[in-house]
Amino acid sequence: MPNMRALKDIKALKLRFPVEVSDSTNIFFVFIKGPEDTPYADGLWKLSVTLPEDYPYRSPCIGFVNKLLHPNVDFASGSVCLNVLNQHWTPMYDLIHVFEVFIPQLLSFPNPSDPLNSQAARSLMSDKRRYESEVRSAVRMYAMGSSAPTLPKEYRKHVEEAPSTKSKPLDEGCGIGEVELSDISSDID
């Protein structure tokens, strides 16, 4: 059972994002639109969130459920490489920070020098235009139309009307925040 802070943060998150809670309230899913002015802008992403028992003193584990082509996201598992989630996490942060600041910054400003997906990192470093074209193709394949994650009915209008986000760079590194998606994704779809 989540602690009071976790319940408060989940409640606040539900006011700003579509949230799908699984049988365990420590594991839930958040839907986001890709940040505008990025190759991810037209995509809809479903992210898994696992809260540790001692949240907020330990960071949540975040992973993309639908495939994402990005240097700092493992293409197979959806694991996220974001320094602030592990090495620089503080209880002052909350779930709103994760989804309004940290994830949009990750998508807007990939860090190819410390990748989880070395192929995406090489592509970004060698030819940014080709990389962005590959990303847009992957977005069409995994995050748009019939391949996009299915939103709970009560949130469909909310996401269509939700504003896209713009991000400013954040000092990035690679602290791997992982969740084994295979254990939970089959229960959701």
Tokens 């410390």 sit at which residue? 114
HEC-encoded secondary structure of the chain: CCCHHHHHHHHHHHHHCCEEECCCCCEEEEEEECCCCCCCCCCEEEEEEECCCCCCCCCCEEEECCCCCECCECCCCCEEECHHHHCCCCCCCCHHHHHHHHHHHHHHCCCCCCCCCHHHHHHHHHCHHHHHHHHHHHHHHHCCHHHCCCCCHHHHHHHHHCCCCCCCCCCCCCCEECCCCHHHHHHHC
Set 81, 121, 124, 184: catalytic member: 81
Based on the residue annotation, tell me whether 61 is a catalytic residue of this protein: no
Catalytic residues: 81
